[in-house]
Amino acid sequence: MQGSKSNMGVISTSDGQITLFYNLRSQSGKQALAYARTHGLPIEEIDILKTPLTGTQITELANRLGINIEEMVNQEHYKHRRKFTAQCFDPEDWITVIQNHPEIMKQPIALRGNRTVLVETPTDIIRI
């Protein structure tokens, strides 16, 4: 039995739980996760290196943050500077870049209900 494709890639959220998209190899990802755990926040962890994001999920995260998909890319990441600095991409290209190199996506991103925040310091998770 096959699942319905129409539901795939849609991010489900809850007011009772924080969904955290993060990279466990990044310092900010580790800190946000540790902060949430230390404060007993109910959290669903999604390590973007282990669970690849779909194009729909990347688009939805950008929309929820109110930014363009290109802005989802950490321009300071060494892989971005080395590979993509001189190139102009359309949104579909940026989605492919993020899917192929998830470590360059800005993160962690926390969602709760209809609220979404880019966690720049671990305490930002409290804003959600």
d(CA 36, CA 41): 5
CATH match for 16-127 among 3.60.10.10, 3.40.30.10, 1.10.3720.10, 3.30.365.10: 3.40.30.10
Instruction: Convert the pLDDT of each residue in 81-124 to its tens digit.
Output: 666 655 668 899 999 989 999 999 999 999 999 999 999 998 89
Answer whether residue 68 shows pLDDT above 70: yes
Start-end of H helices in 39-118? 55-65, 78-83, 91-100
Quote the tokens at residue 117: 């925040």
> Strands 43-47 and 18-22, how do they pair?
parallel
Domain ranges of the chain: 16-127
Q: What percent of the chain has a predicted confidence (pLDDT) above 70?
A: 84
**Phi, psi of 93, rounded to the nearest 5 degrees:** -65, -45
Instruction: Convert the pLDDT of each residue in 10-53 to its tens digit.
Output: 788 888 899 999 999 999 999 999 999 999 989 999 999 999 99
Q: What is the pLDDT of residue 87?
A: 65
Q: What is the pLDDT of residue 85?
A: 56
